[in-house]
């Protein structure tokens, strides 16, 4: 049976989408079957993998979530051995739809994504869900659907401060709707070892979470290559396979796979 992971942090621009795209591609290189779900109306994951979100109007995660069609109707078989469910701006209408009595199938608002993706545990080793920078209804849906969470944390002080709030939200979701939710780990991103600030934030984070929450050994360093890859619609492992950043995401894939072997 596969694993469902949400990549989340309400802080914007910390590397959530990059992590879903690059970890997804890296897991596929390890021979894993992978489904990526873009659950952010910005459609950044869709862009990152080389697809224009607007081309998928009427065929995105939005139509699946409101029950207009089935999930496979909106799946793209990408060139990178991962399947992708795209998103676009239409997804932002979901909030209104949830508030209206538009949906009459009895599935509660917070469980709609879970209801869509849960069965795919049978067909994929990994289902990775990208979330947007908020704790709104979309992110809550992703956290109810997920069994595990990866938290990208950019190595700066403000990000570190936001971690406590995020933990609080995760606890609430777990208590109310999803008892099986666990934190797979915190992933340090945008690390710049030349600055004292980056080094201190990483050190402090490891110290504060020691014995409680895993901080992955893999650290994603800062590089402009991570900005270039989405421009050509490629995961970093395809854009430049020999680059240290590609190796980092492949190492992260191994760490994520090994978590399962440890029988968590």
Ligand X SMILES: Nc1ncnc2c1ncn2[C@@H]1O[C@H](COP(=O)(O)OP(=O)(O)OP(=O)(O)O)[C@@H](O)[C@H]1O
What residues numbered 142-171 form the site for ligand X, per CB under 6 A? Answer: none
- Alpha-carbon distance of 172 to 179, in angstroms, equals 10
Please count the residues of this chain forming the interface with ligand X, following the rule CB under 6 A: 19
Contacting residue, 67, 133, 136, 162, with ligand X by CB under 6 A: 133
Which of the listed partners (Mg ion, ligand X, none) does 190 bind, with a CB threshold of 5 to 8 Å by partner kind? Answer: ligand X
Least Å distance between CB 197 and ligand X? 15
What residues numbered 2-41 form the site for Mg ion, per CB under 5 A? Answer: 16-17
- Alpha-carbon distance of 191 to 195, in angstroms, equals 9
Contacting residue, 189, 198, 205, 237, with ligand X by CB under 6 A: 189
Contacting residue, 118, 223, 243, 247, with ligand X by CB under 6 A: 223
Contacting residue, 3, 16, 32, 250, with ligand X by CB under 6 A: 16
Q: Which residues contact 194 (CB under 8 A, 6 or more apart)?
A: none
Instruction: Tell me how many degrees the CA angle 179-219-204 measures, rounded to the nearest 5.
Output: 75
Least Å distance between CB 189 and ligand X? 5
- Phi/psi region, residue 2 (left: phi>0; alpha: psi -120 to 50; beta: rest), is beta
What SS3 string covers 145-185? HCCEEEEEEECCHHHHHHHHHHHHHHHHHHHHCCCCCEEEE
193 binds ligand X (CB under 6 A): no
Residue whose CB is less far from ligand X, 95 or 115? 95
């Amino acid at each position: 049976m596969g694993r469902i992971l949400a990549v989340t942090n309400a802080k914007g621009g910390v590397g959530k989408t990059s992590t879903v795209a690059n970890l997804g591609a890296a897991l596929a290189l390890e021979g894993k079957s992978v489904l990526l779900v873009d659950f952010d109306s910005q459609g950044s994951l869709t862009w990152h993998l080389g697809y224009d979100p607007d081309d998928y109007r009427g065929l995105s995660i939005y139509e699946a979530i409101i029950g207009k069609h089935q999930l496979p109707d909106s799946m793209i078989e990408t060139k990178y051995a991962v399947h992708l469910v795209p998103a676009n701006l239409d997804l932002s209408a979901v909030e209104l739809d949830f508030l209206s009595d538009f949906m009459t199938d009895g599935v509660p608002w917070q469980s709609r994504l879970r209801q869509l993706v849960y069965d795919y545990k049978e067909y994929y080793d990994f289902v990775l869900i990208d979330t947007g920078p908020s704790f709104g209804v979309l992110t809550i849906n992703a956290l109810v659907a997920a069994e595990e969470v990866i938290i990208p944390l950019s190595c700066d002080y403000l990000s570190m401060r936001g971690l406590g709030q995020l933990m609080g939200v995760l606890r609430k979701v777990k208590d109310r709707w999803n008892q099986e939710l666990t934190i797979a780990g915190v992933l340090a991103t945008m690390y710049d070892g030349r600055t004292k600030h980056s080094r201190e934030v990483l050190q402090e984070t490891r110290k504060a979470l020691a014995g409680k929450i895993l901080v992955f050994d893999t650290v994603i360093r800062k590089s402009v290559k991570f900005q270039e890859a989405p421009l050509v619609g490629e995961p970093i492992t395809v854009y430049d396979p020999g680059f240290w950043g590609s190796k980092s995401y492949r190492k992260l894939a191994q760490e994520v796979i090994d978590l399962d072997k440890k029988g968590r």
